[in-house]
Chains A and B, each alone.
Chain A
Amino acid sequence: MSRRGLRAVAALVAAAVTGATLGGAPLRPLAAQEAPGTAAIVSRALEHESAGRNREAIDSWRAALASGVVIPAALGLERVFSLLAQEDSLLVMFDTLVPRYPRELQLRAAQLRTLITLGMNTQAQVEFGKWRALAPTDVAPYREYARVLLFNNRAAAADTVLRLATETLGSTRALVLETAQMRSALGLWKDAAESWREAMRDEPYYESAAVFSLSPTPRDLRDLVRRELGVPGTPLGALQALALLEVQWGAPRDGWRVLSALPPSDTVVAIWRQFADEVQRVRAWAAARDALGAIHQARPDGATAVRAAAAALAADDPVAGLRLAREAAAALPDSIALADALPLELDALARLGRASEAVRVLAKARPALGAEGARPLARHIAWAWIRAGDVARAREALKDAPLAAEDAVSGWLALFDGDLDGARVALRNSENPGQDVISALSLLNRTRESRSAAIGQAFLALAKGDSVQAAQRFERAAADLADAAPLLLALAARIETARRDEERSLTLWKRVAAEHPESPEAAEADLEWARGLRRRGDIPGARERLEHLILTYPSSALVPQARRELDTLRVGAVS
């Protein structure tokens, strides 16, 4: 949104505030002057404004002003003229109205906004001075002027105004919000955090503003902010702001740690819910699991337990997922439990490889589900048997409730059987291919072979979570499938790298680089080889590999990374 657009919104907000305070003492004299029928004029002006008929809106607001609707009309004119970039047209109006209603806050604030937008800083300063002189003990002139300056990115000038307020009024307690914004704008992060904390003692709903304001804190200064917002006795709003800041800073579990120690109360649980919504939005599943689990524990609720179980499974925590799914089932009516909690329970059991248990659970639910209802759940049973290492029973499970041929589970089963053609067709048509499907397809697309028992066994070992066997079988399969050999070796090497078996991974990467220098995996092999050498302290060797990568595969996407790592190795060489 443009700056003028923003200003129009600000004016609109001000108008809303005005509306809320119209019954207040300062405005009664103005309201009393309104002529009959003014409501219709105001309504027409608003209609024109919302329809974008700016000229007509101006005429209507002027008519409203003439009939005594001073504040709404002045703010309406401010909105329209700022949208037209004709703020100078407002000057005469303010010159007339402000002397007539010198104590009217909305008029004063709008006048300052206009003058600053027009760059008439000296004039704005003069008007601010007049307002101060009129109300020497009132915080409003300082607050409104500081806000206008902050809105226009003039934090240093706002600082001067706030200092003046401290000197004149003796305290900036009433200006703590503006002080916090000013300090953030000046990059005084520690002081800003302190001000936000104090601001939220009386007004806890500022947590979003605090997060917006403090989120740009540089990484190395964030501990200062953490300390200020986390001191003992800090208001709940400040803790909530800190938790949300941690989410923004990429540490959602630290955010949950801030909130998790709070004794549960209705307010705290409401804060937890907001936090859970936020971490779920950013797909921080582990933090979502913890937050939703805690909410469920404090205020047991089946729907929350379902969300917590789903978050746990997304966080790859089937143990928690199973527990929460069962707690959800216990708390929900049967029909909802079958629809929402049962699939999660079966998914968790499948991931844990507890196939017999999954079969029993589904059998128990089958009468209520019916054949059609049980059918989509058969894939969980199949996966459970795969995880348990029993492909025959997995196939049996699918036979009981036959799925479409292109279902991912049948694709995987075909692959485990070594039926590469069948797997190719089924996996290619997977509805939501995950990283595992993509990896399998990248291999299947590299070979023209129709069958390979070795590849099937390797993927089956991987599915069972047996990474040692999987790596060995991928390496062995490389001997059978010459056209996919570099990829199979790379798969084995990636597994060994993830297992931190330095010796084995280095041997495999060396093989890829030396035996398959023309393959797509060769650049990756060079990079990983170099990293392995660097970890062993062989800096010249690592440098040689990185240089080889850059010079031999100049168009590889890994070249920029190789250059960065080469630079890192060189730093020690510069005296």
Chain B
Amino acid sequence: MRVVRIDPRKLARGVARACAIAALAAASAAALARPAHAQHLLVPMDDAQTNHLKAYGLTFGAIGDGARSEWLLNYRGGSFLLPDLPALRRQAALAGVSFEAVDGARLVALRREIAEGNMDAVPLEKAPRIAVYTPPDAPPWDDAVTLALVYAGIKYTSIWDDDVLDTDLSQFDWIHLHHEDFTGQQNKLFLGFRDAPWFVQARERDLATARRHRLADIPALKKAVADRLRGFVERGGFLFAMCGATETLELAIAGKDVDIAGPYSDGSAMDPDADARMDWSRTFAMQGARLEMAGGVNAMSDIDGHQVNVPSRRQPLGTFTLFGFSAKFDPVATMLVQDHRTVIRDYYGVTTSFARKVLKPGVTILAHEEGAPWVKYIHGSYGRGSWTYLGGHDPEDPQHNIGAPPTDLSLHPNSPGYRLILNNVLFPAAKKKPLKT
């Protein structure tokens, strides 16, 4: 006799989903019985919105509950169209998200306006399964993506090295990388924090993980993790990285078989020919970058344009500008830049920006600083998946020193910088349309 094994977690998820759909259906029925309700709720994302960040959470939750939703690209700052359900109205009111009731006539006019301009309506069909690569112990700095997800009320799963190396990453649609140094040099923080308890603890934890996986040292561990993440994208996953994770992921992938870590990390000096031996054909975004060979200089390579931790090279912060894309012909890039501001104040991170000179030709630049030799926000495809890099650490804390308190997003509910992060969380939910070109 054949025994059918049911994963209890899947079963629980299925039951929860069925209940949610039933609840929404019941709510819909109730809504239908009340003629005062419109057919749809428009969640504007221009300056009429009182809480842009929670609007993403509202939409994400609606998709998760099976409600038919649409992302109206380039329409009033990238608004959302949701079904008019009492449950959604209630959630919006609780979260302080503004919405407008849309009846049939207004919907027709709205769709006509979208059809006639550089706009499009993209159906959002399935809430992506989200994982955040984040250390088990809270480091003395926070992560903008985690802050945004928690504030917006979007659920995610935390993963760390063991999970990446041992489990099937295809269970996730979208992975965000916390500010990890994938070269295994712990962001060279030994220069200033080698005796700090949190630094010592993180080092011991990573060394233990490396030993568990029979890897020689932390650089070897992080390179193995980087390679698994590369494979995740290659097989169709979405990867989003900020700050130092962007630059070091590229270096770790290109330097898979090269010693690119200083002696503090692996006991041996960097390969003097490391630059020449890097294999850039394997990376997502960069090519031909030059590694920082000086162990005492707190930089990894010349990928970062701002070099915030090297006083003699540090560049001042300016503003960056989002590019406009054709919503109908280039919906992915358009989704990633939906915002109610096009010029945004810049902010530092371990990696703040990406030098133009090291970008691969196929990379899509989503935002740049006018006249500067660097860009801020980039995207591209790799294998069957895609990746997005956003430079800097925290859009609402331009300096963000180690040990500074985390940003309180309830004070920044309309943050245009944080919207870029949440665009990335939501865009895997978009139904793929055949490209028109």
Contacts and interface: CB of A to CB of B under 8 A. Distances in A.
A187 interface: yes
Interface string B302-341: 0000000001111010000000000000000000000000
Contacts of B156: 574-575
A574 B150 contact: yes
A258 to B, nearest CB: 22
B403 interface: yes
Interface string A548-575: 0011001000011001101100110011
B94 A566 contact: yes
B28 interface: no
A574 B155 contact: yes
B306 to A, nearest CB: 10
Interface string B50-73: 000000000000000000000000
B95 A563 contact: yes
Given A187-B401, A221-B403, A563 B96 contact: yes
A163 B312 contact: yes
B401 A221 contact: yes
A43 interface: no
Contacts of B405: 218-220
Contacts of B95: 563
Highest count of chain A CB atoms <10 Å: which of B90, B311, B314? B311
A240 B121 CA distance: 63
A249 to B, nearest CB: 14
Contacts of A189: 401
A400 B94 CA distance: 60
Contact of A220 (B157, B312, B316, B404): B404
B153 interface: yes
Interface in A91-127: none
Interface of B is mostly: loop
Given A571-B150, A575-B156, A218 B410 contact: no
A260 B106 CA distance: 71
Contacts of B94: 547, 550-551, 563, 566
Interface in B151-178: 151, 153-158
B410 A563 contact: yes
Given A187-B399, A575-B155, A550 B316 contact: no
A574 B149 contact: yes
Highest count of chain B CB atoms <10 Å: which of A156, A550, A560, A575? A156
Contacts of B311: 155-156, 159-160, 186
A153 interface: yes
B421 to A, nearest CB: 16
Contacts of B158: 575
Contacts of A220: 403-405
Nearest to B154: A574
Contacts of B155: 574-575
A219 to B, nearest CB: 6
Contacts of A156: 311-314
A429 B381 CA distance: 74
A314 to B, nearest CB: 32
B312 A218 contact: no
Nearest to A153: B316
Nearest to B403: A220
Contact of B151 (A163, A187, A547, A567): A567
A570 B157 CA distance: 16
A73 B5 CA distance: 93
Interface of A is mostly: helix
B29 interface: no
Chain A interface size band reads: 20 to 34
B157 A575 contact: yes
Contacts of B410: 560, 563-564, 567
Interface in B206-252: none
B165 to A, nearest CB: 21
Interface in B351-405: 399, 401, 403-405
B93 interface: yes
A409 B132 CA distance: 64
Contacts of A547: 94
Nearest to B157: A575
Contacts of B403: 218, 220-221
A156 B149 CA distance: 35
A571 B94 CA distance: 15
A559 B96 contact: yes
Contacts of A566: 94
A154 B314 CA distance: 10
A187 B316 CA distance: 13
A447 to B, nearest CB: 34
A248 to B, nearest CB: 17
Contacts of A551: 90, 93-94
A339 B93 CA distance: 60
Contacts of B154: 574
B195 to A, nearest CB: 14
Highest count of chain A CB atoms <10 Å: which of B149, B156, B313, B410? B410
Nearest to B307: A156
Interface in A171-229: 186-187, 189, 218-221
Nearest to B90: A551
A312 B367 CA distance: 58
Contacts of B401: 187, 189, 218, 221
A566 B54 CA distance: 13
Contacts of B151: 567
A218 B404 contact: yes
Contacts of B93: 550-551, 554
Contacts of B149: 574
A187 B400 CA distance: 10
A564 B409 CA distance: 10
B404 A574 contact: no
A188 B371 CA distance: 29
B409 to A, nearest CB: 9
B42 to A, nearest CB: 19
B429 to A, nearest CB: 18
Contacts of A570: 153
B90 A160 contact: no
A159 B401 CA distance: 19
Nearest to B51: A563
Contacts of A155: 311
A508 to B, nearest CB: 26
A186 B410 CA distance: 28
A156 B317 CA distance: 12
Interface in B84-101: 90, 93-96
Contact of A221 (B150, B312, B314, B404): B404
B312 A574 contact: no
Contact of A574 (B90, B153, B313, B316): B153
B350 to A, nearest CB: 14
Contact of B312 (A159, A550, A563): A159
A198 B313 CA distance: 27
Contacts of A560: 96, 410
A571 B156 CA distance: 12
A160 B156 CA distance: 45
Contacts of B96: 550, 559-560, 563
A218 B394 CA distance: 15
Interface string B130-164: 00000000000000000001110111111000000
Contacts of B399: 187
A560 B51 CA distance: 11
Contacts of A154: 316
B314 to A, nearest CB: 4
9 contacts: A156-B311, A156-B314, A160-B312, A189-B401, A220-B403, A220-B405, A554-B93, A570-B153, A574-B153
Given A186-B314, A551-B90, A574-B153, 12 more contacts: A154-B316, A160-B311, A218-B405, A221-B403, A560-B410, A563-B94, A563-B96, A564-B410, A574-B150, A574-B154, A575-B156, A575-B158
Interface of A: 153-156, 159-160, 163, 186-187, 189, 218-221, 547, 550-551, 554, 559-560, 563-564, 566-567, 570-571, 574-575
- Which 3 residue pairs of A and B lie closest in terms of their CB atoms, listed nearest first? A156-B314, A220-B403, A159-B311
